Chains A and B, each alone.
Chain A
Amino acid sequence: MKILSKSGNELLLLAMKDDSAAKGDYLLIEDRSRSMIVQVYDEEYLSSQALVEDIVKEEVVNASSMENLHDPLNIGSLSRLVRDARIFRAKIRASVNDGKLSSDVTWLPSRVESRIRRLAMKELDSFLGRQGIFSIPLGRTSDGEEFEIYAEDLDGKLTIITGKKESGKSHLSKILVKTLVQHGAFVVIFDLNNEYNGIGWNRDGTPSSVHRQVKLLEPGKTLRFSLNYCGKGAVSGMLKNALDMPAASLREFFRIWDWLENKQSLSMDAIGNAVNTWNINELVRDALVSRYHVIQSSRLFADNGLQFEDMISAGSGGAALVIKMDEVSPTVRRMVVELVLSKFVDLLERQVIPPIFLFAEEAHLYIRDTYWEDIITRMRHFGIYTTFITNQPDAIGDAIYRQVDNIFLFNFTNDGDLEKISKVSLADNDTIRSIVRTLPQRHCLAIGKAVCDLPVVIRVAAAEVLMFGETKKFFKK
């Protein structure tokens, strides 16, 4: 390979047939004591008008009559080499001076003297100093080298996994969840498609290594709370945000709550009786009665509900709390999310539980708009580290993208999605558009802190766990 030209932070490299590099590969351009790290983001033919004319002419001639060659100097093979020559478009990512990584890329490597070679992931890691204690093996790079990130890279961070349908997003998130649990972390999953329960099982049906640590919580069944445990704050948040209760009605509800609490008789039945007998405006009573019935039918409250801190202290080696939301109505989903998040914030504030990792699939379907930023900014400080998984990048606001630490981008072919993601992601537009468009299934482009801000293409490892949540089909193969 040879350097052809430079424009901005982009290098054009001339590659012959045997020079191989895939989109996303890193190359090291060595020029005496200095080196430059570049990443290939696109590949095209070396093309000139004359070359195209030659190819067309030859094809036309060969189509009209059979060819016989006498080429004593074997110029034809050289000619074929020229026609197969390619241009790699590469972005300059960093330079290496005396073995140390530097962001000084203001110098130009020699076109004549420079040696260009592929950079192995291990070598890149050593330049980056990328290391940690709790590794999460994600799969392999295009070279076949094993690739891992570290749990520390997700700790305290906001992560987004996005890509089009069936590109492998859930697959990656399950790997992350399982490995985090193996490392002793507590992970809460809002499971919209009932697929995370499979983490507890291997593909052959035997229990997985985290089988005992996976807790399936079904709203109205295994996920029920006592009113006292939730507290006035969580319940009022639920009424206000999930059930859209007006302020006037909310005030009356608080008075009822306080009265029952003082009497130490706080229960769903007591609230129901109070609402019916309380001396209030009839419109307010109607508002309270309708909300009461929704809460009753959700069966989210019981006298003896679960306590998260008990579950977490019981699973001292880490746990995955899978909140199953596929069979509940959108209103109940919102109620569950409000209650769970409020309760975790309360527990974290009081330092009753350690920080947790939250995995939210298609969160736009159950988290209200105004709540997003709260999750991102406030909850991070309490110790809720969120990973959003979505196939609609435009469902996540720009404000959230600006706070994001890691993005795992799977394939997108839709121009609108690419436009959105390239505008807000942590890598440059050209890299995103070119690499993401051509990513095969289960390949992703990792961007952000986990990869020290150098985008890496990863082939995500095959799932060891049982895959639930796959699309049910009428015509079975």
Chain B
Amino acid sequence: MVNNMATQLNPPFDASISLGDLGIAESLSKCIEPKLEELKGKRIVFSRDDKKMIPIDGWGVRSDLNPTTVTTIRPIKENALVAAIDSSSVKLAETEEGGLYGTKCGIATAYAGRALMHFKIGPVLFYLSESSIQDSELEERLARLTLLDDDFAKRLIRVRAERAVQKELASHLTNSIILVDGSLKASAFEDRERSIGKIAESCVLRKNTMIGISKGTKFKVLERAAYPLTKVPGPAYIEVDMIIKSLIRNTVGSNSMIKLEKNSPVLRSDIVGDRSESLGMLLGNDPVAGGYPETLRLAHYISIFTSTEMTCLRSHVLNSYDVTELAADDIRRTLLGSISI
């Protein structure tokens, strides 16, 4: 009877079972070849929090491009307005049917090398549900994804808000420089009337220049191509149209890798207008600090949501839309516990 009891209390398999017996380690090592031996002798940059890290002095790899393709940018002392645009979006709340998102846009202007004024637009709220998505002219599959994925929804709102501002600036300014954060690439989220193509068209018609500046690029080949810029003492650019056009479609304007100051990072730039003249006008009219235009930096700062604004938005929603706040919990925290190191 004692023996029977022991049998009943035992687990279905022996407690001393090892991973080796299950063959998990072997299977894991075969799922993809680790090839760690190839790391030997490589120069590495560790990633931090999924952020794009770049080596301060570049990768030091040789470029196949001829060094003569590097063009020096000379500041043009001809006064023109620089208007930089940036935007951000956040998810504020969720309902059973959709999500409530907020967006903010910032426009910072400079003239003759001095900051002029800045405009804060928003926060503006958007409630994305099935009905609002249907009216957005989005392709059906994308519309459904937008409702399912917060990142898609935030991107939709940000792209549309930013394009709306860009379109208005392009249609109202003349002989000005419109600076955009990021590349000038058509997005699946933009609406037909305010597409990047239409904005570029308006720019050309009103003799405006549009420059999109990206802080980082996913294409390692571009970093290699921009290597000669690290050796140039002053502001300069390298044309990379061939590389970009072969990798992605739907870009607008000419593509370059630029360096705006001595010892500053190399940035990707898409330009609608004459490349040399546009960059020269930019340097002549917008103060540059740390290799990045001040207007674009300011536009970024004024467009991001502060924690106070988030608090105020919550209060506004509760007070203005007759909603009932439900008690909620962080599901990851609930399930995974609160062990923090």
Contact = CB atoms under 8 A, between A and B. Distances in A.
A291 interface: no
B240 to A, nearest CB: 33
A57 interface: yes
Interface in B298-319: 298, 301-302, 306-309, 311-313, 315-316
B185 interface: no
Given A51-B308, A61-B302, A64-B298, A73 B117 contact: no
Interface of A: 48, 50-51, 53-54, 57, 61, 64-73, 75, 78-79, 81-83
B59 interface: no
Given A68-B117, A72-B124, A78-B316, A54 B306 contact: yes
- 7 nearest A-B residue pairs (beta carbon): A78-B312, A50-B307, A66-B117, A65-B115, A54-B306, A68-B119, A70-B121
B138 to A, nearest CB: 24
B124 A65 contact: no
A83 B118 CA distance: 22
B311 A82 contact: yes
B125 interface: yes
A75 B118 contact: no
A66 B122 CA distance: 17
B301 to A, nearest CB: 6
Given A65-B108, A78-B315, A70 B309 contact: no
Contacts of B109: 65
Given A51-B307, A54-B307, A79 B312 contact: yes
Contacts of A78: 312, 315-316
Contacts of B122: 70-72
Interface of B: 108-109, 115-125, 294, 298, 301-302, 306-309, 311-313, 315-316
A69 B109 CA distance: 14
A57 B308 CA distance: 12
A61 B311 contact: no
B301 A57 contact: yes
A73 B119 contact: no
B118 A79 contact: no
Nearest to A83: B308
Contact of B118 (A57, A68, A81): A68
B120 A68 contact: yes
B28 to A, nearest CB: 43
A57 B302 CA distance: 9
Contacts of A75: 123, 309, 312-313, 316
B173 to A, nearest CB: 15
B119 A70 contact: yes
Contacts of A70: 119-122
B177 to A, nearest CB: 16
B330 to A, nearest CB: 19
A70 B125 CA distance: 13
B120 A71 contact: yes
Contacts of A50: 306-308
Contacts of B311: 82
Nearest to B320: A73
A74 B109 CA distance: 23
6 contacts: A50-B307, A65-B115, A68-B118, A70-B121, A72-B124, A75-B316
